[in-house]
Chains A and B, each alone.
Chain A
């Protein structure tokens, strides 16, 4: 209780400094559930609130986050040709991933939460929890080597235009996290597209730059680079006698492309993919890709957790899977390009289908809000997403665009579901009126 007294003592005045008060309120309600009691209406309330809902979604993502962190390091060392097994050099991979990921998470929250707090103070209401989930989703769907300034602009765009412009949490039409991703995709295509033909910085594998000495001679060789944080950890690792990062400057293995499976599949079908990656490797996720979307089993664990707790809609997940399978089968039957001929089950080994299904499509605010609508909404995402993935020559992944597309159509789906409800009610009326106006019934008494 001493903490409570202390917190109450330092509470800033709401009128004098609204921003500080909102900030305080945001953190205070995090530490303590407020002492509000019910007034009018029901006298007892369910133990569930929005904070608990949101934090459970974040919990469901934690496995993906930890895996993604190690995978950043793993991909880095793959490029160097070191520690080929996923678990070898684990401490280096983990720390490398942490140093890469932490700034992304921190900057996402600084920018996103900062804007949220500012708007909350301006509107004079409490901070809402929506960004808890968005703030964790955004790092997970970014490439590991995303420049921080691009990230910050994208987050600011997503929060201001995507959410606050519509009225804040619960009012947005488009998924905030995906909006940040789509902003990066369209505003900085060369920085983010997983196309290895770009003579630019390869974002799917982090920690490399062109050796300036060799570049002057016209040789494009990427060499590893480490910063002060790596040096700090080297000092600790050295004390234990473990292997260290070293000074950097090691050249990338010849012929290492860091291409994502989808990038390969778009060019040469399933043969091109399996030439580089085995299906097991893709399933378990030791491959280049966005930070949190590569490990399918962990995503499925998260999805099952969300279904078991009833937080995410199983209807959307199931129907999205159905929609994707149906489209895969259609494409298989068509089979005009090597990509179309990828066996339907292997489409799910590649790309971020499961991540989109578990965490993106199920966002309750932007998804369809009726249960019937959720079936249609999910199915169409799966269906359209697979079309974008396979038939679009520019960008071999479809879920981002398919979900945003269906976000826009979700209100329309709901409209027709509700119209059906209204019509059921109207058609019911006719039959009863006919009974009521039958003459002998009325005159009976």
Chain B
């Protein structure tokens, strides 16, 4: 900031000096035109001198190799510097990708940065959390068996090399089945003291990629990887062009990942080292440049990875948006993504030689008494985590956030990739003239509500749809909240008519449900965009 001010001052000084010089130069005549022409000429010459000198300065700096870290040696601020948003102190002089489009939905019930002492006793692995695996995978344990954390409990017959392991040690108490006998949950009652399955020694520095992949497949670490497009578990022989990790979440009431990673910094760095061996490209870390955001040193000082700073509103924290702005996915390419706590889990396998599936989960939402964080393990029982917290029994509980999370009951378990439980009031009420004269404040991007007068207001949203489903009518609405070069409405129409070529052309591979969730929220016609997108992704996956 100071640098920019001083540059501006120097530049204006030059300007003033040139004007004084002109004013003193008195010519006998009285032609204003002549005066003006001379003035312009003087300004031009001075400007030229400054411009040339400035360029020489920059050339010199370049020759001496001083401009490596993006420092600007010109006396003029560069376009990036002028447009640079106010950032937090961790960013320094690094380049910031500033995204203008998007919308932050502010809700009541943000998690306080403290740990609640609630403990979950039962945990589950849910095959439905893994897109694309068969509904009835082979469960290798029986009810009553004792398992250790990291022990294999099931595998998919289509990809038998990928092993799914127990997140905690304890007794398998149930294998629940749903419609068509599909396995919904393998439930484990956790021991009070965690026991970990022994992991064989692995020399990360000298091992080949194949050995590493086999090790990851056996240890259960592979199930933490997700492949874009499709959000599936990658095939064992797949090589991604890059790996992306978003270290912040901008969804409504999202947990702070810098807070969640506390105490696991070493494991996180180890995890990054492992990931670096898996791709010929880079491992990208997306960081939050927003002013006032806390950024863990584990992220800001991560080694061996490409650090990208992002600034903007939701969905800037979505890894899909970050991929689009760093190294977009094209037809035939794949990238991998995973969460920061998943990276720590993978790292712990190598640094501590145990499958540590411990998770920091945020309990959020206006319907909980004390929104805060809890320490637990992967796939924890939701009812046990929110025990005694729920204000209203009828409130909706969601694994994940209100935009792309999944509705759950207190008997259900947290989904594999979720680090948040949200509660939201059910909105099954009639509202008189609700479409014209709403009685309660509600989040919206529409200018027909006075919301823009209260930019910091937090809302107590409910699940009412506030209107009925209609055909696509309003245009340009999705584009206004999606910071990607994609036309969502046209893509949706291409999916609905099964036009493969168009879907591919309009960038279906770059999207995941969470990226379109905000578009679905703002949709005037109340269209189910995430569902349509998944339908399209499944169609494309079937096509191969």
Interface string of A29-60 (1 = CB under 8 A from B): 11111111110111111111111110110000
Report whether A32 and B434 are in contact in the complex, using a CB–CB cutoff of 8 Å. Answer: yes
Bound-state CA distance A51–B332 (Å) is 43
Most buried by A among B333, B443, B445, B475: B475
User: Does B530 count as interface, using CB distance less than 8 angstroms?
Assistant: yes
**A46 CB contact (under 8 Å) in B396, B462, B466, B490:** B466
**A432 CB contact (under 8 Å) in B330, B431, B462:** B330
User: Does B474 count as interface, using CB distance less than 8 angstroms?
Assistant: yes
Report whether A42 and B434 are in contact in the complex, using a CB–CB cutoff of 8 Å. Answer: no
Report whether A436 and B471 are in contact in the complex, using a CB–CB cutoff of 8 Å. Answer: no
Nearest to A33 among chain B residues (CB) is B434
**A310 CB contact (under 8 Å) in B330, B429, B446, B529:** B446
Report whether B209 and A52 are in contact in the complex, using a CB–CB cutoff of 8 Å. Answer: no
Q: Which of B83-91, B164-172, B299-307, B402-410 contacts A (4 or more CB under 8 A)?
A: B402-410
User: Does A418 count as interface, using CB distance less than 8 angstroms?
Assistant: yes
Nearest to B333 among chain A residues (CB) is A432
User: Does B343 count as interface, using CB distance less than 8 angstroms?
Assistant: no
Which residues of A (155-188) have their CB < 8 Å from a CB of B?
167-171
A47-B470 CB under 8 A given contacts A31-B432, A421-B487: no
User: Does A126 count as interface, using CB distance less than 8 angstroms?
Assistant: yes
Residues from chain B with Cβ under 8 Å of A441 in the complex: 280-281
User: Does B505 count as interface, using CB distance less than 8 angstroms?
Assistant: yes
Q: Which of B11-19, B187-195, B369-377, B517-525 contacts A (4 or more CB under 8 A)?
A: B517-525
Nearest to B448 among chain A residues (CB) is A309
> Would you give the shortest CB distance from B449 to chain A, in whole angstroms?
6
**A170 CB contact (under 8 Å) in B327, B472, B522:** B472
Report whether B476 and A128 are in contact in the complex, using a CB–CB cutoff of 8 Å. Answer: no
Residues from chain A with Cβ under 8 Å of B426 in the complex: 37
Most buried by B among A30, A38, A46, A364: A46
Report whether A432 and B402 are in contact in the complex, using a CB–CB cutoff of 8 Å. Answer: no
Report whether A425 and B448 are in contact in the complex, using a CB–CB cutoff of 8 Å. Answer: no
Q: Which of A77-85, A220-228, A274-282, A366-374 contacts B (4 or more CB under 8 A)?
A: A366-374
**B328 CB contact (under 8 Å) in A171, A370, A374, A428:** A428
Report whether A41 and B448 are in contact in the complex, using a CB–CB cutoff of 8 Å. Answer: no
User: Does B424 count as interface, using CB distance less than 8 angstroms?
Assistant: yes
Residues from chain B with Cβ under 8 Å of A436 in the complex: 241, 280-281, 333
Residues from chain B with Cβ under 8 Å of A371 in the complex: 476, 479
User: Does B277 count as interface, using CB distance less than 8 angstroms?
Assistant: yes
Which residues of B (471-490) have their CB < 8 Å from a CB of A?
471-476, 479, 485-487, 489-490
Report whether A432 and B241 are in contact in the complex, using a CB–CB cutoff of 8 Å. Answer: yes
Residues from chain A with Cβ under 8 Å of B434 in the complex: 32-33
User: Does A391 count as interface, using CB distance less than 8 angstroms?
Assistant: no
**A42 CB contact (under 8 Å) in B475, B505, B521:** B521
User: Does A445 count as interface, using CB distance less than 8 angstroms?
Assistant: yes
Report whether B436 and A55 are in contact in the complex, using a CB–CB cutoff of 8 Å. Answer: yes
Report whether A47 and B466 are in contact in the complex, using a CB–CB cutoff of 8 Å. Answer: yes
Residues from chain B with Cβ under 8 Å of A444 in the complex: 280
Most buried by B among A36, A43, A311, A421: A43
Report whether B490 and A418 are in contact in the complex, using a CB–CB cutoff of 8 Å. Answer: yes
Interface string of B406-441 (1 = CB under 8 A from A): 010000000000000010101111111111101000
User: Does B463 count as interface, using CB distance less than 8 angstroms?
Assistant: yes
**A168 CB contact (under 8 Å) in B468, B471, B486:** B471
Report whether B470 and A169 are in contact in the complex, using a CB–CB cutoff of 8 Å. Answer: yes
Residues from chain A with Cβ under 8 Å of B214 in the complex: none
Report whether A364 and B473 are in contact in the complex, using a CB–CB cutoff of 8 Å. Answer: yes
Bound-state CA distance A104–B88 (Å) is 62
Nearest to B472 among chain A residues (CB) is A170
Residues from chain B with Cβ under 8 Å of A44 in the complex: 105, 252, 402-403, 424, 443, 461-463, 521
Bound-state CA distance A43–B461 (Å) is 9
Nearest to A43 among chain B residues (CB) is B402
Residues from chain B with Cβ under 8 Å of A30 in the complex: 435
Report whether B432 and A367 are in contact in the complex, using a CB–CB cutoff of 8 Å. Answer: no
Bound-state CA distance A418–B499 (Å) is 14
A55-B523 CB under 8 A given contacts A46-B446, A49-B467: no
**A47 CB contact (under 8 Å) in B332, B424, B443, B528:** B443
User: Does B135 count as interface, using CB distance less than 8 angstroms?
Assistant: no
Which residues of A (231-285) have their CB < 8 Å from a CB of B?
none
Report whether A36 and B465 are in contact in the complex, using a CB–CB cutoff of 8 Å. Answer: yes
Residues from chain B with Cβ under 8 Å of A129 in the complex: 470
Bound-state CA distance A436–B474 (Å) is 41
Bound-state CA distance A32–B430 (Å) is 6
User: Does B398 count as interface, using CB distance less than 8 angstroms?
Assistant: yes
Bound-state CA distance A47–B466 (Å) is 5
Report whether B471 and A169 are in contact in the complex, using a CB–CB cutoff of 8 Å. Answer: yes
**B524 CB contact (under 8 Å) in A29, A37, A49, A128:** A49
Interface string of A144-163 (1 = CB under 8 A from B): 00000000000000000000
Residues from chain B with Cβ under 8 Å of A168 in the complex: 471
A38-B467 CB under 8 A given contacts A43-B396, A43-B407: no
User: Does A116 count as interface, using CB distance less than 8 angstroms?
Assistant: no
> Would you give the shortest CB distance from A159 to chain B, in whole angstroms?
16
Bound-state CA distance A53–B523 (Å) is 12
Bound-state CA distance A432–B522 (Å) is 34
User: Does B331 count as interface, using CB distance less than 8 angstroms?
Assistant: yes
Bound-state CA distance A441–B282 (Å) is 11
Nearest to B440 among chain A residues (CB) is A47
Nearest to A128 among chain B residues (CB) is B470
Interface string of B510-544 (1 = CB under 8 A from A): 00000001001111111011110000000000000
Bound-state CA distance A46–B341 (Å) is 31
Report whether B435 and A51 are in contact in the complex, using a CB–CB cutoff of 8 Å. Answer: yes
Nearest to B507 among chain A residues (CB) is A425
Report whether B280 and A49 are in contact in the complex, using a CB–CB cutoff of 8 Å. Answer: no
User: Does A365 count as interface, using CB distance less than 8 angstroms?
Assistant: yes
Residues from chain B with Cβ under 8 Å of A215 in the complex: none
Residues from chain A with Cβ under 8 Å of B330 in the complex: 425-426, 428-429, 432-433
A422-B517 CB under 8 A given contacts A35-B464, A36-B468: no
User: Does A87 count as interface, using CB distance less than 8 angstroms?
Assistant: no
Report whether A56 and B448 are in contact in the complex, using a CB–CB cutoff of 8 Å. Answer: yes
A37-B427 CB under 8 A given contacts A42-B521, A425-B505: yes
> Would you give the shortest CB distance from B170 to chain A, in whole angstroms?
32
> Would you give the shortest CB distance from A373 to chain B, in whole angstroms?
9
Bound-state CA distance A374–B487 (Å) is 14
User: Does B442 count as interface, using CB distance less than 8 angstroms?
Assistant: yes
Bound-state CA distance A444–B239 (Å) is 13
Bound-state CA distance A367–B436 (Å) is 26
Which residues of B (359-391) have their CB < 8 Å from a CB of A?
none
Which residues of B (259-281) have their CB < 8 Å from a CB of A?
277, 280-281
> Would you give the shortest CB distance from B422 to chain A, in whole angstroms?
8
Bound-state CA distance A41–B521 (Å) is 9
Residues from chain A with Cβ under 8 Å of B455 in the complex: none
User: Does B506 count as interface, using CB distance less than 8 angstroms?
Assistant: yes
Which residues of A (343-399) have their CB < 8 Å from a CB of B?
364-365, 367, 369-371, 374
A49-B526 CB under 8 A given contacts A55-B435, A428-B328: yes
Report whether A40 and B528 are in contact in the complex, using a CB–CB cutoff of 8 Å. Answer: yes
Bound-state CA distance A365–B524 (Å) is 13
Report whether B485 and A421 are in contact in the complex, using a CB–CB cutoff of 8 Å. Answer: yes
**B447 CB contact (under 8 Å) in A50, A309, A369:** A309
Interface string of A421-445 (1 = CB under 8 A from B): 1101110110011001000011011
Other than A35-B430, A46-B445, A369-B476, give 11 A-B pairs with Cβ distance below 8 A: A32-B434, A37-B428, A38-B463, A44-B252, A48-B466, A50-B474, A168-B471, A308-B447, A311-B448, A364-B476, A365-B473
Binding site for B on A (CB under 8 A): 3-4, 29-38, 40-53, 55-56, 126, 128-130, 167-171, 308-311, 313, 364-365, 367, 369-371, 374, 414, 418, 421-422, 424-426, 428-429, 432-433, 436, 441-442, 444-445
A-B contact pairs, 23 of them (CB 8 A): A33-B434, A33-B466, A33-B467, A36-B465, A41-B529, A42-B404, A43-B405, A43-B422, A45-B523, A45-B526, A49-B467, A49-B468, A51-B435, A53-B448, A56-B448, A169-B473, A170-B471, A310-B445, A313-B475, A369-B476, A371-B479, A425-B330, A429-B333
